[in-house]
Amino acid sequence: MAPPRKHREALLASAVTLFRKQGYAATGLAEILAASGAPKGSLYHYFPGGKAEIGAEAVRRAGETVTATLRSLAAEATGPGDLLARYLAALAGWMRKSGYRDGCPITTTLLETVPEHAAIRDAGEAAFAAWAEVIADSARKSGVPPKRAASLARFAIAALEGALIQCRVSRNDKPLKEAAAELRALFGAAR
């Protein structure tokens, strides 16, 4: 009897959490398995490629969660500046709540594994592009010309990633607040 599909979900959820908190290299397969509560056989059943396959799938999964969050915020926001302000405020709240132990769910893993692991890199590139597209779409709808909307959205993702690093290192949310204010002004001026 094959292990139930829920074990795959549990393994992935544990991998995302552990990679975000402590990184890819420091997280062993045994730790992912123990945190998930899934039976031992399920790991190689669902991830025959081992840790690199779990890494790529965890980056893809975490990326999709962020994309879904951004889309849901975009539906409520008055424009790209408001969308980013809402998202950065949510990030700041999650980081405070975790005592600045949580950061971006994919950056640490990506920095540790590129360029050796092409599948993880590809998943990361797709995630960043999907996030930027939600922001670019919001910018276009607010009247920012398409080309400028695309480049500003990519810049916003870069600034957001960098601000998350600064927040973790300084253990306060000021870098996210400053980035939100700068980005709001930039998107406003680009209309």
User: Are 26 and 77 within 8 A, CB to CB?
Assistant: no
Which of 49, 38, 30, 37 minimizes the C-alpha distance to 2? 38
The tokens describing 189, both together, are: 């001026």
The yes or no reply on residue 31 touching a second copy (CB under 8 A) is no
Residue placing its CB nearer to a second copy in the complex, 46 or 128: 128
Cα end-to-end span (Å), the chain: 58
Residue placing its CB nearer to a second copy in the complex, 73 or 127: 127
Buried b / exposed e along 69-80 (16+ C-beta atoms within 10 A): bbbebbeebebb
**x/- string (CB under 8 A) for a second copy, residues 149-188?**
--xx-xx-xxxxxxx-xx-xxxx---x--xx--x---x--
What is the Cα–Cα distance from 179 to 161, expressed in whole angstroms? Answer: 10
The yes or no reply on residue 29 touching a second copy (CB under 8 A) is no
Residue placing its CB nearer to a second copy in the complex, 69 or 166: 166
Q: Please state the closest distance from residue 46 (CB atom) to a second copy, in A.
A: 24
**x/- string (CB under 8 A) for a second copy, residues 93-132?**
------xxx-x---xx-xxx-xx-----x--xx--x----
From residue 151, how far is each of 74, 76, 169 by CA, in Å?
A: 18, 23, 27
Residue placing its CB nearer to a second copy in the complex, 64 or 182: 182
Q: Please state the closest distance from residue 144 (CB atom) to a second copy, in A.
A: 13
The yes or no reply on residue 30 touching a second copy (CB under 8 A) is no
What is the Cα–Cα distance from 55 to 19, expressed in whole angstroms? Answer: 8
The yes or no reply on residue 79 touching a second copy (CB under 8 A) is no
Q: How many CA atoms lie within 13 A of 47 on its CB side?
A: 23
Q: Give contact residues for a second copy (rule: CB under 8 A).
A: 22-26, 99-101, 103, 107-108, 110-112, 114-115, 121, 124-125, 128, 151-152, 154-155, 157-163, 165-166, 168-171, 175, 178-179, 182, 186
